[in-house]
A and B are shown apart, each in its own frame.
Chain A
């Protein structure tokens, strides 16, 4: 068997010595052994590396395959309190769903007291509530039943950052759309119908992509493959972009912005678009790095442009 010593990456203090470790042991198993001696550092918050300033070793890496002698020296870094991705997503999405409804039903202390629990006389306001709520219910269900996450956890502080963003914008948008002084779209029913069509198409498109990505990866595995169009016409966007789910998402919000003709919604769409473009470019780059035969026509998020 091999010996493993774990040192603190910053202070070089010897934290743990494991003797008689199986050469076939994975990093995940070593992390579990380390937790036994330091229970406050559960495996998800451990980063183990061969070099104090180097990259983290993966859970699947096998001890035997690492460039070490009979005693492996690993450096430990505390990643801080972790929270599961599922928990973060559920909290992020439940917030806007609930908050929007508070404004829609004109719960007291938001608008003047004479408006408490009154209802808007504009059809588009009711339609907007249905669309917004549908969007977040869809996201919640996808988080529970569709998505396969490659990482288990993220740092705890992310949940505060993310929730501030989602909940804050939801409140800001909902305040104006459900306001007693709300002004319906300039081009009336025509504008609303067009916007609704865009919204529905993009919601279906986004869902189709999520399903296609799920089918790409078998349950429990972390393998990565190039996504291709399937029989579903909504997935044909894969011919032109790497991340059509983001493309459709931006489209949904543009539809919602046109439907409500509300500047905060447009700003939310813009901020979301900026963030998703950054993610799409990153994903696109890692596809290109990993697969030699990656289709050259594809752009990250907008066909031919971006």
Chain B
């Protein structure tokens, strides 16, 4: 895929580059700067998408060989952790709202490092497979969309997938995440992990159990906002609706 992309690059690429679905044009001075930025972006997108594909294939293979989801998390966890953390860079590269991307990336990092990595008993829960599948399919669709958008060769079905799959995948992913956190609660309470008790030298305390409860509660205001944001984007992109935003 990477070879094909660099073959497509030729010096006659014009200086106006489309950056993502916002359609914002970059009037960058100089053909070279535009081209370098263009190449870096499209390579990054396809690399990231490639990794999610690898993950998806690993998951399918595991299930086909073992016939169960038990131990699935353990086998893919290294790859998942590595580029989920690497996804922090995403906040810089992806031309969507920093806040939306930020919330998504931090909730993913939270799930991977603070829940599934740290609380081993829940790694074999079905809910883990639920959100892993949701994330994988979402990301492959999303990065395919970004890659093809940049090349101006966007097949309609990728655009359709990008703006329709989430309708099912978001709630499925959220359900998986919430069920996993819920499953982890008894273990957290029993072990008192990640918690600080009084008295101590710095006069502070932290209860991870209550922190998780608050985190679960925070999905209530946050998830609908993300969901409706995507629904608005969908109406704009697929149906060409002009939406007057509340505040400029």
Contact = CB atoms under 8 A, between A and B. Distances in A.
A260 interface: yes
A231 B115 CA distance: 60
B199 interface: yes
A135 B200 CA distance: 27
Contacts of A10: 244
Interface in A176-201: 176-177, 179, 181-183, 186
A171 interface: no
A262 B205 CA distance: 10
A95 interface: no
B202 A181 contact: no
A182 B202 CA distance: 9
A261 B205 CA distance: 13
A184 to B, nearest CB: 9
Nearest to A266: B202
- Chain B at the A interface: SS class: loop
Nearest to B248: A53
Contacts of A176: 198, 203-205
B201 A262 contact: no
Contacts of B201: 183, 186, 261
Interface string B200-237: 11111100000000000000000000000000000000
Interface residues of B, number: 10
B203 A262 contact: yes
A272 interface: no
Interface string A224-248: 0000000000000000000000000
A179 B202 CA distance: 12
Nearest to A176: B203
Contact of A177 (B199, B203, B205, B244): B203
A181 B199 contact: yes
A262 B199 contact: no
A261 B244 contact: no
A204 interface: no
A183 B199 contact: yes
Most buried by B among A176, A260, A262, A264: A176
A177 B244 CA distance: 49
A261 B202 contact: yes
Interface string B105-129: 0000000000000000000000000
Interface string A262-282: 111000000000000000000
Contacts of B202: 261-263
Contacts of A177: 203
Interface in A30-53: 53
B198 A179 contact: yes
Contacts of B248: 53
Interface string A102-117: 0000000000000000
Contacts of A53: 248
A10 B204 CA distance: 50
Contacts of B198: 176, 179, 181
A256 to B, nearest CB: 13
Interface in B83-102: none
A183 B203 contact: yes
A263 B205 CA distance: 9
Contact of B199 (A182, A186, A260, A264): A182
Nearest to B200: A183
B203 A260 contact: yes
Nearest to B206: A263
A263 B204 contact: yes
Contacts of B244: 10
A176 B197 CA distance: 11
Contacts of B203: 176-177, 179, 182-183, 260-264
Interface of A: 10, 53, 176-177, 179, 181-183, 186, 260-264
22 contacts: A10-B244, A53-B248, A176-B198, A176-B203, A176-B204, A176-B205, A177-B203, A179-B198, A179-B203, A183-B199, A183-B200, A183-B201, A183-B203, A186-B201, A260-B203, A261-B202, A261-B203, A262-B204, A263-B202, A263-B203, A264-B203, A264-B204
Interface of B: 198-205, 244, 248
Given A182-B199, A262-B204, 10 more contacts: A10-B244, A176-B204, A176-B205, A179-B198, A181-B199, A182-B203, A183-B199, A261-B201, A264-B203, A264-B204
Q: Which 7 A-B pairs have the closest CB atoms?
A: A263-B204, A181-B199, A262-B203, A181-B198, A263-B202, A176-B203, A183-B199
